[in-house]
């Protein structure tokens, strides 16, 4: 999938026996594949997906001061009442915090102030890391739905959820329009509506972690979702040590010995994404974690 310019318009083209609708959103190339020869239908489905993706992006973007997340983060210690959709996402994040024993923590976003994963060797100093760790910890947040209160200086970041959630919502949007075989792919987090015609499978290539552009593997899906967690694009390299961009909220540092890429298959993209994230957070124990959990996954080290 070639990267496209940030504001390029959407594009509809034939691809094999499908129509492929592509656009750019959430800093990612997005595509919708519909097995049909009906261009109008493909366009309608594509627009529905694009609309949903942009809606979610704008609602939960941490970069926009007037998004829900922006407003929560700017509340300065005051309580904020949130809408139903946000409440459901916060509930989900809270449960994931519990189930991961604190490894998955949406308050860890503040670490981006000191960690910039641009391939350079700017690893932050220990003192910087220590002071920021005071501002991390979901257990410090008061979440009594529908009201959330962050202690001053703390922030939430739904970036670890939003893309996968958007895939699931986008697919649901397509299913309202048509029951034809559809695949929604937002930068590698994807989901299919079901098998292709005649029970045939969707073919998905796993991107290699090196720059070769070759596929590391070929998967075939008949149903469900795939999500990939990995560092192939965002990392730091210092003294020969590669720091992946997934940070341990407890230590404020990148997870050590994390696999370069974890691809997980599950029923929904949200579930797949969370398993992949949790796997990476296990660092060295990623494969063991996935095996213990009986997850369908592919690790690349």
- Give the interface with another protein as residue ranges (CB under 8 A): 17, 84-85, 88-89, 91-92, 95-96, 99-100, 165, 168-169, 172, 175-176, 179-181, 193-201, 204, 206, 217-224, 263, 265-268, 270-271, 274-275, 278, 287, 289-301
Smaller CB separation from another protein, 8 or 17: 17
Q: What is the spatial distance between Cα 26 and Cα 53, in angstroms, rounded to a whole number?
A: 8
Q: What six digits make up the tokens of 120?
A: 């350079």
User: Based on CB atoms, which residue is closest to another protein, 43 or 296?
Assistant: 296
**Least Cβ distance, residue 8 to another protein (angstroms):** 29
Q: From the CB of 87, what's the least distance to another protein, in Å?
A: 9
Query: What is the torsional sign of CA 258, 263, 264, 269?
Result: positive
- Cis ω for the linkage preceding 146 (within 30 of 0): yes
Tokens of 184: 């929604």
The label of the residue with tokens 């919708």 reads 32
Nearest-approach distance from CB 276 to another protein, in angstroms: 11
| Residue among 95 and 113 whose Cβ is closer to another protein | 95
How far is residue 48 from each of residues 45, 51, 189, measured CA to CA in Å?
A: 5, 5, 18
Q: Which is nearer to another protein, 96 or 110 (CB)?
A: 96
Q: Choose between 14 and 113: whose C-beta lies nearer to another protein.
A: 14
In whole angstroms, how close is the CB of 192 to another protein at the nearest point? 9
Both structure tokens of 209: 């972690």
The closest alpha carbon to 196, from 10, 50, 36, belongs to 36
């Amino acid at each position: 999938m070639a990267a496209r310019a940030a504001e390029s318009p959407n594009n509809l083209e034939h691809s094999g026996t499908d129509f492929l609708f592509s656009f750019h959103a959430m800093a990612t190339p997005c595509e919708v594949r519909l097995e049909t020869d009906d261009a109008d239908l493909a366009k309608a489905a594509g627009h529905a997906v694009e609309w949903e993706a942009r809606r979610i992006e704008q609602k939960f973007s941490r970069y926009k001061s007037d998004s829900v997340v922006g407003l929560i983060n700017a509340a300065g210690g005051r309580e904020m009442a949130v809408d139903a959709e946000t409440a459901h996402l916060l509930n989900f994040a809270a449960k994931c915090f519990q189930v991961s024993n604190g490894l998955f923590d949406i308050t860890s976003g503040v670490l981006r102030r000191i960690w910039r994963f641009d391939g350079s060797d700017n690893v932050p100093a220990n003192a910087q890391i220590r002071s920021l760790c005071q501002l991390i910890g979901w257990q410090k947040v008061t979440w009594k739905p529908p009201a959330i209160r962050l202690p001053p200086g703390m922030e939430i970041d739904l970036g670890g959820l939003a893309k996968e959630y958007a895939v699931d919502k986008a697919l649901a949007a397509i299913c309202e329009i048509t029951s034809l075989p559809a695949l929604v792919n937002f930068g590698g987090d994807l989901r299919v509506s079901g098998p292709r015609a005649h029970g045939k499978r969707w073919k998905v290539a796993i991107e290699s972690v090196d720059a070769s552009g070759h596929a590391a593997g070929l998967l075939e899906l008949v149903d469900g979702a795939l999500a990939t967690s990995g560092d192939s694009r965002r990392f730091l390299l210092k003294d020969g040590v590669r720091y992946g961009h997934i940070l341990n909220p407890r230590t404020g540092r990148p997870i050590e010995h994390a696999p370069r890429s974890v691809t997980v298959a599950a029923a929904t993209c949200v579930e797949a994404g969370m398993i992949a994230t949790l796997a990476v957070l296990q660092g060295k124990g990623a494969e063991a974690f996935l095996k213990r959990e009986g997850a369908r996954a592919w690790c690349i080290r």
